[in-house]
Amino acid sequence: MRLVVQRVSRASVTVARERVAEIGPGLVILVGVGPADGPPQADWLAEKTAHLRIFEDAAGKLNRSLLEAGGSALVVSQFTLYADAQKGRRPSFIGAAPPEQAEPLVARYAEALRALGVPVQTGVFRANMQVEILNDGPVTILLER
């Protein structure tokens, strides 16, 4: 699994002109799933994300986790994280897991975050989403397992 983790002041997802998810301060997590991924990867990445120290403490150091900062997470599936653009001009997406495999793993990742105590909102799997992100910092971290 591949994650792009962005610290945000606020974020939302709109589908067909309807806002389906919205958070205040926290993390937007774009999630891509590969064909070799399974529940262990989803669980490990949820633990890593919840405890990743990318929020400032009183001294201005990146020393607090999402849980310590009291933030929320917005989890958005994004198969394009597995794009291969090495050849030609059109990316290939054959490195991404099929939707039947990816959807339950994205859901498992979101549930694992919830189980750790993180308030989680999600995008809509396979929908054309407009994701509005107000980056904070900006702080953007790539995680892969």
Instruction: Give the chain's domains with CATH numbers.
Output: 2-144 (3.50.80.10)
Contacts of 105 (CB under 8 A, 6+ apart): 1, 33, 37, 38, 39, 41, 42, 97
Among residues 6, 41, 49, 78, the one annotated as catalytic is: 78
Among residues 80, 93, 130, 140, the one annotated as catalytic is: 80
Tens digit of pLDDT for each residue in 92-124?
Answer: 999 999 999 999 999 999 999 999 999 999 999
**Mean pLDDT for all residues in the chain:** 97
User: Distance (Å, rounded) from C-alpha 88 to C-alpha 145?
Assistant: 28
Clarify whether 79 is annotated catalytic. Answer: yes
Q: What is the pTM of this model?
A: 0.96
**End-to-end Cα distance, the chain:** 6
- pLDDT number for residue 134: 98
Strands 18-23 and 62-64: unpaired
Q: Looking at this protein, which amino acid is placed at residue 110?
A: A
Distance of CA 55 to the CA centre of its chain: 16
